[in-house]
Amino acid sequence: MKILVVFVGSLLLSIGINGFLVPHHLLDGGVEGIALILHYYFDYPTGVAVCFLGMPICLYAWFYDRTLFYNSFLGLFTASILIDWLEPLKTQFNLSIFPSVLLGGIFIGVGVGLMLRYKISTGGTDLLAQMISKSFSINIGVIILVIDCLIVTFAFYTMDLKTFLFSCLTIIIIGVITAIMAKSSNFH
């Protein structure tokens, strides 16, 4: 069941990123947000960047909680591969920015939330949020929202105001959907 959840969650995340965020140069938060910045400004493959940026957090999980490591390692590689494999979606939907924000936020939030419901992550800041949630009994969606907002705030100077505000809205949508979906799991 977990393998199916990893695939479906990673697929939804990849569609959200490539189909709706990339066409408008919008950011997600966390590792994906940093990877998108590298993609937009240096044309670096987003999935490869996600893999390299998420690996140190994944390795930390090896020492922190081996179950989290195993559940995240597969998620990290599956999401990284699908993000780059589905990169051609960036030219397929041709929606204006507001529907892209809504749909991108929904796809990513459902994908991440689904994986977190089964204690799986993509190995980046989702994994970090799982460890924090486990240690301090805080809703994982709230932790992800805070981390994502910090990433986008640091990226403020690399984008125009419109892109920044729509990226913030995307992150809020992702955070709310992730929090709702993860709430039914064993996280607090």
Residue 156 lies in a domain: yes
pLDDT tops 70 at residue 27: yes
Q: Which domain holds residue 112?
A: 2-183
Residue 75 lies in a domain: yes
Query: Rounded to the nearest 5°, which phi and psi values hold at 44?
Result: -80, 140
Say how far apart CA 88 and CA 66 lie, in whole Å.
Answer: 35
Residue 109 lies in a domain: yes
Residue 30 lies in a domain: yes
Give pLDDT, residue 184: 57
pLDDT tops 90 at residue 85: yes
How many CB atoms lie under 10 A from the CB of residue 168? 19
In tens, the pLDDT along 137-181 reads 887 777 877 888 888 888 888 889 999 999 999 988 988 898 888
pLDDT tops 80 at residue 79: yes
Q: How many domains does the chain have?
A: 1
Give pLDDT, residue 123: 80
Say how far apart CA 54 and CA 154 lie, in whole Å.
Answer: 18
**DSSP classification of residue 94:** -
Asked whether the beta carbons of 105 and 95 are under 8 A apart, the reply is no
pTM of the model: 0.89
